[in-house]
Amino acid sequence: METDTAVEADATVRFLDWPESVALGAAVAVTTRYGGVSEGAHGSLNLALHVGDDPEKVIANRERAARAFGVELDDLIFAEQVHGAGSAVVGTPERGRGTRAMEDAISSADILVTTDLHATLAILVADCVPIALLDPEARVLAVVHAGWRGTAAQASASALGVMRSLGARPEHVIAFIGPGAHPAHYQVDAEVYRALAAAVAPHPLPPEVARSDGPDHWKVDLMAANRQQLVLAGVTHGHILDCGVTTADDDYFSDRAARPCGRFALLARLTDSDGRP
């Protein structure tokens, strides 16, 4: 991994984005480690308040990331992520929740859903899978935090259910899957394997999701697991857009590679026809 000095020296906020989202009436992007003011293990664009970083630096990092994304800090909405499948529909009244303090984040939610042009949804990760779901026809947007527990709880399918209640149709949904743990670095035991298998039963877990790695151990690709669940829930294969990288890439924080470490974010918002918030 790059040195902390190299990370801290780069003052430019960098994103991994999906240009396809703009034509569909949304902006979807993932931050990297670069462009912030945090130091040491959190260097430099740590966006999480719960990992031991200086809160003032985290808020400064969030301001930088928001502006680089084309919005202001108080447009963002953060959730109290608890590794489940709880959801909340949010909009203008919730703007600013969780931006400066964890105490007022959206409670016990790993899924945020909106139809509001003025709300920017944020999910924090560092090996768990960040996902954005967009129905460009119904103008419904969701973000999902899917670690193994959330994946086992079918968080992606739960998000689609909430979106459907707002007029979305799974066959119209475009899914954007951000960087998760590299499967070579993600070994799980029998408990986790059984939970992931139960989430798609009676369908089997295909080899691209889980491969045996010795007695009662498997290497798991959580990104592939969520792709499978999205397809089973009605999303078209061709509508699932991967990012092409994992948290093994030096650009991203990885909790499995280094503790303590920061968190990067998936940010998503609906836009008008010109791509503006």
Domains plus CATH for the chain? 4-270 (3.60.140.10)
- Cα separation, 113 vs 184, in Å, equals 32
Question: What pLDDT sits at residue 11?
Answer: 73
Per-residue pLDDT tens for 140-166? 999 999 999 999 999 999 999 999 999
Question: What pLDDT sits at residue 10?
Answer: 61
Res 119 pLDDT > 80: yes
Which pTM does this prediction carry?
A: 0.95
pLDDT band for position 9 (cuts 50, 70, 90) = very low
Question: What pLDDT sits at residue 4?
Answer: 47
Q: What is the average pLDDT value for the chain, to the nearest integer?
A: 95
Please give the backbone phi and psi of residue 123, each rounded to the nearest 5 degrees, phi first: -125, 135
Res 7 pLDDT > 60: no
Per-residue pLDDT tens for 43-99? 999 999 999 999 999 999 999 999 999 999 999 999 999 999 999 999 999 999 999
Question: DSSP letters of the chain?
Answer: ---HHHHHH--S--EEE-THHHHTTEEEEEE-S-S----GGGTTT---SSSS--HHHHHHHHHHHHHHTTS-GGGEE-B---SS--EEE--GGGTTTTSS-GGGSBTT-SEEEE--TT-EEEEEESSSEEEEEEETTTTEEEEEEE-HHHHHTTHHHHHHHHHHHTT--GGG-EEEE-----GGG-EEEHHHHHHHHHHHTTSPPPTTTEEE-STTEEEE-HHHHHHHHHHHTT--GGGEEE-S--TTSTTS--TTTSSS---EEEEEEE--TTS--
Q: What is the mean pLDDT of residues 225-251?
A: 97
pLDDT band for position 6 (cuts 50, 70, 90) = very low
Question: What pLDDT sits at residue 272?
Answer: 84
Question: What pLDDT sits at residue 1?
Answer: 32
Residues 6+ apart with CB under 8 A from 84: 108, 110, 149, 150, 153, 155
Res 276 pLDDT > 90: no
Question: What pLDDT sits at residue 273?
Answer: 56
Q: What is the mean pLDDT of residues 112-132?
A: 98
Nearest to 228 by CA among 247, 246, 207, 209: 209
Around Cβ 85, how many Cβ atoms within 10 Å? 23
Percent of the chain with pLDDT over 90: 94
Nearest to 142 by CA among 171, 107, 109: 109
